[in-house]
Amino acid sequence: MNRTSSEERLARFQRDGFLVLPRFVSPEACDGLIDRARALVEAFEPGELRSIFSTTDQALTTDAYFLGSGDAIRFFFEEGAFDAEGRLRAPKALSINKIGHALHDRDPRFDAFSRTPALAALARDLGLSEPRLLQSMYIFKQPHIGGEVVCHQDATFLYTDPVTVTGFWFALEDATLDNGAMWALPGGHRQGLKARFRRDEGDRVRTEILDPTPWPEARPENGYVPLLAEKGTLIVLHGLLPHLSGPNTSDRSRHAYTFHVVDGAADYPRDNWLRRDSGSPLRGFS
């Protein structure tokens, strides 16, 4: 990318708080990741570990399995995936909400997808002087049961001082209005951080409210825009940008892979939920 277009790109990112970059990765690369995620799910035996992921009931879902996933590959089910007897209502492959949170470090295919010269150059252009890949997720957004993700800022969950977290989100399948595309509030990243999700030494978690003003309701008339993304699109999100996604009401899945980068020059407080207790250091793009 030439100098002018990278400067334009940075100016747009600073103005809007996000970038939508179509055709950033090839359809074949997307298919490779989809295949790998399918193989990981096939090999996963849920047993008694039935952790679900919900953004509407954090206390229910923040268990030891979740808190220990910062350095591992773990599997989280959709809300409503189990019946009253604890049996899966649908096949396992259609019941998983996401896999997290160290795919980029613990799986060679995800590692290679996450660390490319193009991504390293983009991160540098966006001002990340010492980029460190902190956390990754494979999100299934299953047909019919793929749950909503309520409006939030990523810096609430991955906090550095100063705020540096930056999201890299890849559409592995088309993200449309009816299968749960993301929505964002352009420019909302300039309003400051509204909450911090903190973990204490006893592994209790709580959300500290820094600014109680609620986000405007997520409707187009309030300025929100859908981030429609064809397969292969990369969306970059500023850590303070308010964003969300609705439920998947369609009969098509909306697979996405996302990872979050922080700047190694910023302070990463220990009361973040995500800890690398194994001691393995965070790595950059190489």
Nearer to Fe ion among residue 154 and residue 173 (C-beta): 154
Reference 198, options 189, 190, 187, 207; nearest CA is 207
Give the per-residue contact string, 147-176, with Fe ion (x = CB under 5 A; - = no).
-------x----------------------
30 conformational bin, left if phi > 0, alpha if psi -120 to 50, beta if neither: alpha
Nearer to Fe ion among residue 16 and residue 154 (C-beta): 154
Nearer to Fe ion among residue 94 and residue 123 (C-beta): 123
Give the per-residue contact string, 215-254, with Fe ion (x = CB under 5 A; - = no).
----------------------------------------
Contact 139/241 with Cβ under 8 angstroms? no
Count the residues of the shown chain that bind Fe ion, applying the rule CB under 5 A. 1
Residue 256 as a binder of Fe ion (CB under 5 A): the answer is no
Give the per-residue contact string, 108-147, with Fe ion (x = CB under 5 A; - = no).
----------------------------------------
Reference 232, options 183, 285, 169; nearest CA is 169
Neighbours of 98 (CB within 10 A): 19
Nearer to Fe ion among residue 34 and residue 182 (C-beta): 182
Reference 95, options 43, 33, 45, 143; nearest CA is 143
DSSP for 233-257? -EEEEETT--EEE----SSS---EE
Residues that bind Fe ion (CB under 5 A): 154
